[in-house]
Amino acid sequence: MQLRYRYRLYPTPGQRRALAQAFGNARVVFNDAVRARQDAHAAGEKFPTGTVLQKRLITDAKRTDERGWLGQCSNIVLQQAIRLHTGGFSVRPNGKLRLARIGDVKVAWSRDLPSAPSSVTVVKTADERYYCSFVVEVGDETLPAAVDQHGQDVELGLDLGLSAFAVDQHGRVLDNPRFLRRAERKLKRAQRELSRKKKGSNNRNKARRKLARQHVKVTDTRSDWLHKATTSIVRENQTIVLEDLAVSGLARTRLAKSVHDASWGTFRRLLDEKAHRYGRQLVVIDRWLPTSQTCSDCGRIDGPKPLDVRTWTCPCGATHDRDHNAAKNILAAGRAERQNACGPDVRPHTGADGDEAGSSGTPRGATAPHAA
């Protein structure tokens, strides 16, 4: 499977200028790709592909020198990047990274690359730091099976929620750490400040840079936490069951949508990658199962529960915490789905996996059985 390895880069002033040029070219094309898609959508056309798009983008690119980066794009896109494939880069014997048309750039090798990379993406973050991100092929490193004292697979059902990040079938809560919540609050404040500044003013530029820095901080902190959380989940459990992420339609209706969607999407992707890598099984159940409405004791479907209903009592007498109950149902649905998909003899299954953006995943609503 393919993994990403990221390192800090320290380009010289000359190399920064060359990179700025390269980013500029990549950025124009990116902006135009976004716009071409929006235009096509507005006109009810299919998204233009292949040579048509290529031609249009290059023609457009010649007229777009003066475009602002942040002004033109969604404020989520706060970094610049170029990608080079084999031939466009190499690691020198002196440890520097040779990039085509840029030169030999100093790299902080914080950990070893496990094998020769197939591509590298050079990124400049909004707070002026540079990184290179390699895509490398690694072998699976199957861990010993996670079994309990009776030899049964350790299973985990997770309900991704709004009041907590996730709750499992034992009622244990996995939540964003306080320092991340604090950073997110600061980010929101920076967004508000920017929106109040006059267009074109110096203060607006200042506010924009501040917002960009805070955005990077939140992204880094969150990604660090998600990596740690998913690693320990995958180590401790043989089977992990999640609801399909489209459930976050919940979040879309009212709460900070991008934050939830981004976190859950990354969480799911990391679980998928790590489960694959370490020989665990990730099961994603159908989003339409009424996991919040079903009594996990008697199986009765008790009708919709608005989001503010945190606990409820089933006519059978069982009282449920909303998320805890949902996690139990998710686990049960995952077991059923495994049975249906594989029969009692669960076979390893290697899905199409690992595109180079690391956005490997299973189709929506499908099971993702990995080597058990």
In order, the DSSP letters of 98-120 are: EETTTEEEEEE--S--SS--SEE
Rounded Cα distance between 317 and 298, Å, is 10
Does residue number 293 form part of the binding site for Zn ion (CB under 5 A)?
Answer: no
Tell me, what DSSP letter sits at residue 147?
Answer: B
Residue list 4-33, contact with Zn ion (CB under 5 A): none
Minimum Å gap between C-beta 303 and Zn ion is 12
Q: Which of 9, 295, 326, 331 binds Zn ion (CB under 5 A)?
A: 295
Asked if residue 183 lies in contact with residue 218, where contact means CB atoms within 8 angstroms, the answer is yes
For residue 356, give the nearest of 134, 122, 51 by alpha carbon.
Answer: 134
**Which candidate in 155, 168, 243, 244 is catalytic?**
243
Does residue number 326 form part of the binding site for Zn ion (CB under 5 A)?
Answer: no
Q: Which of 314, 327, 331, 368 binds Zn ion (CB under 5 A)?
A: 314
**Which candidate in 32, 168, 244, 323 is catalytic?**
323
Minimum Å gap between C-beta 130 and Zn ion is 57
Rounded Cα distance between 183 and 280, Å, is 33
Residue found under tokens 């501040």? 210
Does residue number 70 form part of the binding site for Zn ion (CB under 5 A)?
Answer: no
Amino acid at residue number 124? K
Q: Tell me which stretch binds Zn ion (CB under 5 A): 166-174, 225-233, 272-280, 290-298.
A: 290-298
For residue 180, give the nearest of 136, 229, 131 by alpha carbon.
Answer: 229
Q: Chain-centre distance of CA 211, in angstroms?
A: 21
Q: Which of 1, 138, 259, 318 binds Zn ion (CB under 5 A)?
A: 318
Does residue 159 have an active-site annotation?
yes
Facing residues of 240 across strands? 156, 282
What is the three-state SS of 32-91?
A: HHHHHHHHHHHCCCCCCCHHHHHHHHHHHHCCCCCCCHHHHCCCCCCCEEEEEECCCEEE
219 or 294: CB nearest Zn ion: 294
105 or 295: CB nearest Zn ion: 295
Does residue number 156 form part of the binding site for Zn ion (CB under 5 A)?
Answer: no
Does residue number 298 form part of the binding site for Zn ion (CB under 5 A)?
Answer: yes
Q: Chain-centre distance of CA 154, in angstroms?
A: 25
Does residue number 154 form part of the binding site for Zn ion (CB under 5 A)?
Answer: no
Does residue number 220 form part of the binding site for Zn ion (CB under 5 A)?
Answer: no
Does residue 302 have an active-site annotation?
no
Does residue number 116 form part of the binding site for Zn ion (CB under 5 A)?
Answer: no
Minimum Å gap between C-beta 318 and Zn ion is 5
Q: Which of 58, 76, 113, 316 binds Zn ion (CB under 5 A)?
A: 316
Minimum Å gap between C-beta 319 and Zn ion is 10
Asked if residue 209 lies in contact with residue 171, where contact means CB atoms within 8 angstroms, the answer is no
Q: Which of 193, 297, 353, 356 binds Zn ion (CB under 5 A)?
A: 297
Does residue number 331 form part of the binding site for Zn ion (CB under 5 A)?
Answer: no
15: left (phi over 0), alpha (psi -120 to 50) or beta: alpha
Q: Tell me which stretch binds Zn ion (CB under 5 A): 30-38, 174-182, 191-199, 308-316.
A: 308-316
Question: What residues are annotated to the active site?
Answer: 159, 243, 323
Residues binding Zn ion (CB under 5 A) = 295, 297-298, 300, 314, 316, 318
